[in-house]
Chains A and B, each alone.
Chain A
Amino acid sequence: MDFLITLVNGLSLGGIYAMIALGYTMVYGIAKMLNFAHGDIIMVGGYTILLFIPVNPVLAIVAAIVFCVIVGVTIERFAYKPLRGASPLAVLITAIGVSTLLQSLAQVIFGSAPKIQQINLGALQLGQLKIEISTIITLVCSVIVMVALHLFVKYTKVGRAMVAVSEDKGAAQLMGINVNFIIMITFAIGSALAALAGLFYFLKVQTMTTTFGALPGIKAFTAAVIGGIGSIPGAMVGGLLLGVVESICLSIPAISAYTDAIEFSILIIILLVKPTGLLGKKRREKV
């Protein structure tokens, strides 16, 4: 029975990781860059929710999504787009710079003291099982988001164009696909998912700081690499796997202190056995 609760909690946390991991992996697959400022978009979403939740919870969610999309697309337009074709190292350093910028801005605006906001949605009592409502909402929403994203990529014109761009930018342009537009859409989707992840992560920790996005960000990045960076199903599998592992580790007192070490060790072991990640493909070298 306890194990069932651990599993549900793990899948719920994994859903959050998966949503963030999708942002990392889609941007990597399509723009061929690691967006290390992605974690800070979660923080932007978190503060937006904190700001608007006294007004109206639904408005808070909508505002967070809209604002994160604007921030994400703006960052892409002004920080990353001018560097298209530049060395990957330059882009990486820029991303780290953007991350620092966002955290500093948040500190200027909201101060460095943590903000605590209690949100209690209650718990569900099923016989001996007691599960937080927020956990169930997180799990259900993340599944809906993942299914919707899968359908979008598979069955819409823009979604298929995303796959085409991630595989071969040149050939995609020859089809008439505007690569810059597709990259913008990718950042918009990634940022919207980060906003949702910010909401659910906030429901979990209920404390807001300027480095709110750092830990889930790095965990989700780990999940994306475990699943195979660039692979959308990989990010989902990696996220859920990491969430369940974390939940199991935390539920066993003897090893709970080593949870992070165990998670990152799993990354190392998987990369040793399968360097491309669980669902990653070897890309053929092009001449």
Chain B
Amino acid sequence: MADKIATREAYGNALAEFGDKYPNLVVFDADLSAATKTGVFKKKFPERHFNCGIAEGNMVSVAAGASTAGLIPFCSTFAMFAAGRAFEQVRNSIAYPHLNVKIGATHAGISVGEDGATHQCCEDIATMRSIPGMVILNPADAAEARLAVEAAINYEGPVYLRFGRLALPVIFDENYKFEIGRGVVLSEGTDVSIIATGLMVHEALAAREILANEGISAEVINIHTIKPLDTELVTASAAKCGAVVTAEEHNIIGGLGSAVCETLAETAPVPVLRVGVEDTFGRSGKVPALMEMYGLTAANIVAKAKAAIALKK
């Protein structure tokens, strides 16, 4: 297992790496270059990195304008400010005219840790998902984050990329294929389908081991693209397993769990239990303690998996 690395770190590295290949790539940041890791790009391409100061709304609209002149802007700040404060600029300046702007949002979710509730955005997937035409990518590890950045560059239109602060083990190797809108079956199973995104993919894989030891066969699916959702895969897996657990570091309202429920209600109604932040705010603390406190653990996925199986008719 490689050293742990945060997806935000992989994001900054990927920008710097792809800056050579894509000369039109430019980066906007709002005084958080050290934290969002766009500083890595800035070091290599100082003339293509624009600090907008602490003014996220302006940054998003500036990026929209810059994209109309042929540039491919990535604008970065924390998820709270990108999808929260600048929601309207994302909707009206970028998404409504379907401009080619990428939003690199870091510090998403509870795993921000010590900064606490004001900075732990667990609503960004919900707000971004409600915008027509928005693509939402939520990579599970550094390898996937790198691939997500290049896929976003090659996609013509708005993309919201969600990155975390926490260093994570790397799951995927160089043979891993990433395609926007295509979920990935990490492990096949028959009793319950665990559909996970972001850092909860790690917990889902751990939960699968625990369930296997108890004789329960769990399928694990990585949904890196929350929108457009791979409804075909989600439907097929739900129909096969007859019970579903979703897992995300986000409010259970409006995120992956909601997207899966909305799909399955129409295509393959089966019991779905959602692991996520249960409609509450975060708080300061060490990340492991917080993940435990908010139920973002393999153990909680296991419990929900058993409960979902029990709900099968």
Q: Do A and B come from one complex?
A: no
